[in-house]
Chains A and B, each alone.
Chain A
Amino acid sequence: MKKRTLRIYYISFILVLLSLLFFMFIKTFNDNLLFYRSPSQITNSEFPDNYVFRVGGVVLDGSLIKSKDTMNVKFVITDYEQNLDITYTGILPDLFREGQGVVIRGKLGDDGVFYAEEVLAKHDETYMPPEVLDSLKNNKEALNKTTESMKIYK
């Protein structure tokens, strides 16, 4: 009898521990998911304040403004339906160019400006990140424009 109660305690302890670990695991997983949005998908109400997610689009021609004495940069990305202002502090990747597709991780500010923490551009001159390509697909004109602007740089 005593042995049996002990075993029940033992098994229930392990079960509780395992479910606790599983719960923590799922929570960590959920907390670290980064969602992707294109500029026209962004709405102010979707995510809570200071929520980190990723946006992607084509860097608008002539939009890049570099500061003369700090590492601040400002530029605009577009999916040819909606534009989004980006500010970033730091060194841009080698392949960052106007007319190139980029993916950016960061937060959306109250002022509608996206504060970037990381800017990714691909190491291939003809490359367009798949996410960006997808969000451009529903707009054939936009896709043509993009491929043209990429040809100029090739």
Chain B
Amino acid sequence: MIAYIGFFLILLAFLNALILISSKPLLSKVMPDYGSVILSSSKLLFPLILFSFISLIISFLTNDFSLKYVSSNSNSLLPYYYKISATWAGHEGSMLLWCLVLSFWTFMASVYSKDLDTDFRLKFLSIMGLLNIGFLAFLIFTSNPFEKNLSIPIDGRDLNPLLQDFGLIVHPPMLYMGYVGLSVVFSFAVTCLLKNDFKPEWAKWIRPWALMSWSFLTLGIALGSWWAYYELGWGGWWFWDPVENASFMPWLITTALIHSLITCEQKSMFKNWTILLSIIAFSLSLLGTFLVRSGILTSVHSFANDPARGAFILLFLAIITGSALILYLKNSPKMNDKTSFNFFSKESFFLINNILLVTATFTILLGTMYPLVLDILGLEKISVGVPYYNSVFLPLMIPLVFLAGYIPILFLSKKVKSHGQSKYFFISFIIIVLISLLGHSLFDVYNLSIFIGFFLFAWITLNLIYDFISKLISTGSIRFFFKNIGMFMAHLGLALFVIGATVVENNKTEKEVIMNLSEKLDVGGYSFEFVDINENMGPNYSSVIGHFRVYINNEFITDMYPEKRLYNSSEMPMTEAGIDPGFKRDLYITLGTMIDQDKWSVRIYHKPLIRFIWIGAIMMALGAILSVLMKRRNIKVVN
């Protein structure tokens, strides 16, 4: 019963979206107040889809196995929190989540666009409505989560054990918030093109939306990385898997967008470029959806394998991106923003930042799409190895991160010259080199990468401090700090990320060995003793749990319990890593297979500073949010 209501609500939402887009051409003649129809229908979408989503959650909680989607993704033994998160674990439900998030952003765009010109606002919301229609049609015609089973099974097939995890509860909603938030930026850019209107103020209006989407994308990607780290049992945090790439490409482009928007707003430059970036960012997130949802990729994420779905998204992608790009070619602002271009200026460094980010995106796009294209043409089955990404992507990132530290100084470049502060700059450079050497020596190896990592970390951090102090001296107040706190924090997050990534990749220890009971093994300065192994029963699985004691210099530190599970309903084995997390290092153990009685193959890893990767990402995301909040407060103060 509840499922019928859910489906009915989806149909209502679809109808509502149709009203939203057709009221301008149909009603504007007969009804002068057609604008209010657009405004209310753009707000109504969200509650309609939300209640439909809730009814799907209820179907999961009440074990309504008459629904195909519920019976293939849940089981009566599944704990209730996984039943809730199973709502977005499979294809159909995650598309419903996608629609929900899209309607949420439409709602927000409708509420927070009062300060826009009325005609502009209505056009903008209609474009958002058009996107809603596309995805609702996709949901209704190819991936209906409320589809009934022909015969009702006694119990469900169960949720894929890999997805029975906290990571699933948070990773997809965050990522989708980011992906779909870019639709606001996209619709706005397209409206600008339609109206042929490129006031510098629009850059100011669009920036918070780009920042919020970027923040969610950052969190979503970081959560995905963390989840893969502890759940897949390989102990890696990034695999250059096509699906990861699919989420990383819009992230890189949005990073470029955030920076070019600043120049757009302050100097009224790069307008063309910024509009193009806005279009590409959302197109890449559509491409990501296509890659993940069409099932043409070999990945943890490809559950569904339905060519009709792939074709639909591909068609949608072609229409949306194609028409936006044609519009761009026709109406893009004339290149009259040619001003004198000083190389040592903020603009030119933002330009380099953009070139590096776009080049990086292109190299990833090539590595992700080339194998697919060859496969579709039936020429060859290939895949692109991880070394490609490392050797192409990293050299691009080093100058980029270097620039992130240089920009705060540039803000002051004129003052620096006039106040003769260049000697402080020289001193700080020496301090940076010293810090890098010191940090490097902590890790007992002579490694250029770790040195570069520490150098970039010290470079960014000291430049931020330097920037802070000199601004404090020159303005005599601390207000600027609150204005720039978001930028400080995000760049500091980047610095922490860089240090985490370089240290863990260059100083980790990974051992794959056979251990007997009570045998000891040294890994990364720690001694691991295999104490015991016992059988155990979980709510919907049985397992064996190993017991390890960890010592450092014969002093006991902690117990660790890696686990191997066998899920009842699917007979599927799963490795649950035993992890001892720490600020300075993670210890990581997974059980392999039983070789003999009391003899197991195990993986034992020592991962120094790996937490910095996610701490850095969280700081970047928080920085972006703070930046939005502070900007809003500032605008209010001015008014």
Contacts and interface: CB of A to CB of B under 8 A. Distances in A.
Interface of A: 25, 28-29, 31-36, 54, 66, 68-71, 90-92, 94-95, 103, 122-125, 129-131, 134, 153-154
Nearest to A94: B573
Interface stretch (B323-331, B469-477, B548-556, B589-597): B589-597
B298 A71 contact: no
Interface residues of B, number: 37
B367 A29 contact: yes
B160 A123 contact: yes
Given A32-B386, A36-B382, A95-B573, 5 more contacts: A33-B383, A36-B381, A36-B383, A91-B512, A92-B593
Nearest to A38: B381
Nearest to B162: A123
Given A28-B388, A36-B382, A91-B512, A69 B595 contact: yes
B264 to A, nearest CB: 27
Contacts of B300: 123
Contact of A153 (B303, B382, B512, B571): B571
A35 B382 contact: yes
A32 B572 contact: no
A54 B303 CA distance: 23
Contacts, number: 84
Contacts of A125: 570-572
B303 A94 contact: no
Contacts of B514: 69-71
Given A123-B160, A130-B298, A131-B298, A34 B391 contact: no
Main secondary structure of the interface of B (DSSP, over half): mixed
B573 A29 contact: no
A34 B382 contact: yes
A65 to B, nearest CB: 13
Contact of A91 (B296, B381, B392, B592): B592
Contacts of B595: 66, 68-69, 71
Nearest to B565: A94
Interface in B287-311: 296, 298, 300, 303
Contacts of B363: 25
A130 B575 CA distance: 24
B384 A91 contact: no
A137 B464 CA distance: 60
B442 to A, nearest CB: 31
B32 interface: no
A48 B303 CA distance: 37
A68 B385 contact: no
B160 A33 contact: no
Interface in B391-421: 391-392
B522 interface: no
